[in-house]
Structure 1
Amino acid sequence: MSGIGPVEPGEGTHAWNATDPDSPLPSAAPRGRLLRVYGRHRRAALTAAAVAALFAGGGYLYATRPQKPPPPPPPYPSQAIDFTYLNRDVTPRDAPPGSFSLALAVSVRSGPPVTVTRITQPYAGLSLTSAPSTPFRTTADSPRKITITLHVTECGNVPKNAGLPFLDVTLRNTRAIEVHSFIPGPRYAHDLSEALHAACSDDAT
Structure 2
Amino acid sequence: MSGIGPPEPGEGTHPRDGGRPRDPRPPGRARAALTAWYARRRRIAIALAIAAVALAGGGYLYATRPHRPPPREDRTPTQLPYPAQVVDMTYLDGQATPAGAPPRSFSFAVLLSVASGPPVTVTRVTQPYAGLSLDTEPSAPFRTKSGSARKITITMHVTECEKAPKNAGLPFLDVTLRNTRAIQVQSFILGPRYAQELSRALQVACSNKVG
Q: In the alignment, which residue of structure 2 is the partner of 1:124?
A: 130
What's the secondary structure of 2:135's corresponding residue?
Answer: strand
Distance 1:163 1:70 in 2: 44
Distance 1:117 1:199, change over 3 A: same
Q: Does 1:193 align with 2:196?
A: no
- Segments of 5+ residues of structure 1 without an aligned counterpart are 1-64
Per the normalisation by structure 1, the TM-score is 0.64
Q: In the alignment, which residue of structure 2 is the partner of 1:82?
A: 88
Query: What does the per-residue CA deviation read over 1:67-119, in whole Å, with 9 as the maximum and x for residues that have no partner?
Result: 95865822110110010100001111110000000100110111111110000
Q: In the alignment, which residue of structure 1 is the partner of 2:52?
A: none
Considering fraction of residues, name the structure with more helix.
2
Q: Does 1:112 align with 2:124?
A: no
Aligned with residue 145 of structure 2, among 139, 143, 146: 139
4+ residue runs of structure 1 moved beyond 3 angstroms?
65-72
What's the secondary structure of 2:143's corresponding residue?
Answer: strand
Report how far residue 157 of structure 1 moved: 0.5
Aligned with residue 93 of structure 1, among 96, 99, 104: 99
* Alignment RMSD (CA, Å): 2.0
Q: Does 1:103 align with 2:109?
A: yes
The answer to whether the 8 Å contact 1:83/1:105 transfers is: yes
Distance 1:91 1:139 in 2: 28
- Segments of 5+ residues of structure 2 without an aligned counterpart are 1-61
AA of the residue aligned to 1:118: R
Length, aligned pairs only? 141
Report how far residue 141 of structure 1 moved: 2.3
Aligned with residue 156 of structure 2, among 150, 155, 178: 150
Q: In the alignment, which residue of structure 2 is the partner of 1:174?
A: 180
Distance 1:145 1:204 in 2: 31
The answer to whether the 8 Å contact 1:198/1:204 transfers is: no
The answer to whether the 8 Å contact 1:115/1:136 transfers is: yes
Distance 1:128 1:112, change over 3 A: same
- The correspondence of residues 28-43 of structure 1 with structure 2, limited to 5 A, is none
Distance 1:172 1:190 in 2: 30
Per the normalisation by structure 2, the TM-score is 0.63
- The correspondence of residues 52-67 of structure 1 with structure 2, limited to 5 A, is none
Distance 2:132 2:123 in 1: 19
Report how far residue 155 of structure 1 moved: 0.4
Report how far residue 204 of structure 1 moved: 4.9
AA of the residue aligned to 2:89: F
Give identity over the alignment, percent: 66
Distance 2:198 2:143 in 1: 26
Report how far residue 144 of structure 1 moved: 1.1
